[in-house]
Amino acid sequence: MQPSGRRLLLVHAHPDDETITTGGTIARYLAEGAEVTVVTCTLGEEGEVMEPRFAQLTAENADQLGGYRIGELTGALAALSDPAGPVLRPRFLGGMGRWRDSGMAGTPAADHPRAFASAPRTQADGGPLQALTRIIRDVRPQVVITYDEVGGYGHPDHIAAHLLTHAAVDAAADPEVAGEPWEVAKLYWTVTSRGDLESTLAALRGAELPGDWRVPAPEELPAHDDAAITSRIDVAPVLDRKRAALRAHATQLGVSADGAALALTNRIAQPVFAEEAYVLARGAAAPGPDGLERDLFAGVA
């Protein structure tokens, strides 16, 4: 495989977010020879678990879930990798275990001294902003992906990852910040298209799903109006890789037998989309004839 010179960097809050939201995009750009870097901000220590066999790993029991999820993330990124290319390895913000999952809003996990969402951005020994700025300047990505302002669905760590990524893209380009500046050409938010959600949930109603799963009404899941979506990435050719990566996150989710849906511990079915949708937050859009970008690197020199 020829390296394409394209460099894509994704900033995610917990192991599994990279696959659920952007797994197809990661697999597609790896298959096309791009250099892909997935930065994960926490180990996901506060996650709930999908099956009783994992129950003793959780934060209130052995507190081993975070370490276990390093293995799951490693497996997922390997599954997304092209067999002809290098195996994508995890990269944790500040190193493995530096910042901790802050838990859902209003839980005591937010008060942990290492909680990611409340970590001072700049710290004498290197805060999240310094760590991510260094990674951006080291990787020199033309394209960066993170979440929207509400972090997709409101998790404090997702909102923190959104704010941090915007700040680090600014800091990386700032000549006043010590080091060699790097200007990211395009910054995207990973989002769900409301139109896709409605049509795929309708299809799931007739599908065979595990008995304890529930197909939600579309308004129960966060989505963006299609008019706001700037970019759509066709991931149909790599969906099998995305499904294998989803299955690697077994503590967190299940995948239906036909691979059309996944569910987290709430057992609410979510479609596995054949196109991943994005909103261009910064940079110049280069849409095609249908008004949409079909390549996140469109227009990048």
The annotated binding site for Zn(2+) is made up of 14, 17, 158
Q: Which is nearer to Zn ion, 17 or 72 (by Cβ)?
A: 17
Q: How far is the CB of 80 from Zn ion (least distance, A)?
A: 17
| Minimum CB distance to Zn ion smaller for 20 or for 136 | 20
Minimum CB–partner distance for residue 40 and Zn ion (Å): 9
For residue 137, how far is the Cα from the chain centroid?
A: 20
Mutual orientation of helices 17-31 and 239-248 as an angle, nearest 10°? 140
Q: How far apart are CA 266 and CA 271, in angstroms?
A: 14
Smallest gap, in angstroms, from Cβ of residue 204 to Zn ion?
A: 22
Measured from the CB atom, the residue of 14 and 28 that comes closer to Zn ion is: 14
Strands 143-146 and 7-12, sheet pairing: parallel
Nearer to Zn ion, 7 or 12 (CB): 12
Shortest distance, CB of residue 284 to Zn ion, whole angstroms? 30
Q: Of 17 and 276, which has the nearer Cβ to Zn ion?
A: 17
Distance CA 44, CA 15 (A): 6
Q: Closest distance between Zn ion and the C-beta of residue 192, in Å?
A: 14
Burial of residue 182, with CB atoms counted within 10 A of its CB: 0-12 exposed, 13-18 middle, 19 or more buried: middle
**Residue 120 CB contacts under 8 Å (≥ 6 apart), including other chains:** 127
Residue 143, beta-bridge partner list: 8, 186
Q: Which residue is nearest to Zn ion (CB)?
A: 14
Q: From the annotation, which residues make up the binding site?
A: 14, 17, 158
> Nearer to Zn ion by C-beta: 73 or 215?
73
In whole angstroms, how close is the CB of 152 to Zn ion at the nearest point?
8
Q: What is the Cα–Cα distance from 149 to 141, expressed in whole angstroms? A: 21
Interface with Zn ion by CB under 5 A: which residues? 13-14, 17
Angstrom CA distances, 112 to 42, 45, 123, stand at: 13, 12, 17
157/117 Cα distance (integer angstroms): 5
Question: How distant, in Å, are the alpha carbons of 192, 286, 292, 297 from that of 289?
Answer: 22, 10, 7, 16
